[in-house]
Amino acid sequence: MAAATQSASLSGRLSCRAPSSPFPNSSTSALLPAIPLRSRHLSLPKTQCSAHNTQRNTSAGEHCKEQALPLLPFASGLAAALVAGPVQAADLVAPIAEGGPSIGVAVAGLAAAAAAVVGAVKLTDPEARRQKQAARTGGDEKTAVKNYFNSTGFDRWKRIYGETDDVNKVQLDIRTGHAQTVDKVLNWLKSEGSLEGITVADAGCGTGSLAIPLAMEGAKVSASDISEAMVSEAEARWAEQSGGRGTKPVFEASDLESLTGKYHTVACLDVFIHYPDGKAQEMVKHLASLAEQRLIISFAPKTLAYLVLKRIGELFPGPSKATRAYLHAEDDIEAALREAGWKVTKKEMTATSFYFSRLFEAVPIS
């Protein structure tokens, strides 16, 4: 199923819910006040640089390294957008997230952002709300995720991973991002030769967006998901889409921990968003033990920008907040792979306004 994201509304679909919810008041104008942005995102008028006492055009990449210019107009606009609604806020914040680790944040700006977030968290208490919702849907996190994707989550993600027009702007954006990740995986695999007869485990298959095209290319696919509803939908979509091509995948309802067997390739897209750091690293090693030649995984990357977006989303109630969205540092995932005797050979990043997914391909260390 996914979790590189269930993220946003949570789910194994790597979408980070972060930007989908605004701050509840307008007192957040101090949020990210000193973030130098790339020129393609924001261009500021000429301003006096106290560090060099010269007039200069301050656009991304040209700002003084010694002095992070306070982007008050941006901060004010963000505050207004947060009050106006999630889509408006995301439209402003998303360009920052695209900068990823390269974004420079002044200490004062970071402190102000942290203070604003902490204050809002105290007021809204997202953790207490999440625990209460999780208790209503099953108690522990795994049960909450399973129940979510067998009920309200299933209806939501069935639409997102489908072709229906019955989706809002956020859902359409997540659909686009997920499709881009799937296309990248298919291109990786097909670029290395025919898939005819190759055994593939699609761990967290969701509605079959990866498993079905792989099987139609001739791969022998074992597709699993923690949600029985998702597995049933994947089977139905295979019947509708396959057109007699390939061999029907073996579909089963199962969590990652229960998977066994050996496969040429193991793929797990947008699922680690449901696993905290230590557990996610265990799952990386477990999946590596099932793969013989190739392991492909995606996860929501842990960067300052995405952490801020995620925290914004946590401040507001919603039916999907019974599950928790976890971001993971690339170094931690790579370390887990190395410990399992694997090395990363390919990397890709998919980033839309509401979907953030880091994609790795790993092979055994020879």
Higher per-residue confidence, 347 vs 150:
347
Please provide the average confidence, as pLDDT, over all residues in the chain. 72
Per the CB < 8 A criterion, the answer to whether 327 and 16 are in contact is yes
Task: Render pLDDT for 133-142 as a digit per residue (tens, 0 to 9).
Answer: 555 555 577 8
Task: Render pLDDT for 40-56 as a digit per residue (tens, 0 to 9).
Answer: 333 333 334 433 444 44
Q: Which fold has domain 140-303+316-364?
A: Rossmann fold (3.40.50)
Per the CB < 8 A criterion, the answer to whether 207 and 269 are in contact is no
CA-CA distance, 61 to 99, in Å (whole number)? 12
Q: What is the pLDDT of residue 5?
A: 40
Higher per-residue confidence, 26 vs 146:
146
How distant, in Å, are the alpha carbons of 41, 82, 234, 237 from that of 92? 9, 9, 36, 36
Task: State percent of the chain over pLDDT 90.
Answer: 46
Q: What is the pLDDT of residue 149?
A: 87
Sorting pLDDT into bands at 50, 70 and 90, what band is 61?
very low
Tokens matching residue 43? 């261009």
Tokens matching residue 354? 């509401």
Q: What is the pLDDT of residue 236?
A: 97
Q: Over 50: is that where the pLDDT of 322 sits? A: no
Q: What is the pLDDT of residue 319?
A: 46
Task: State percent of the chain over pLDDT 70.
Answer: 57
The residues spanned by each domain of the chain are: 140-303+316-364
Q: Whole-model pTM above 0.85?
A: no
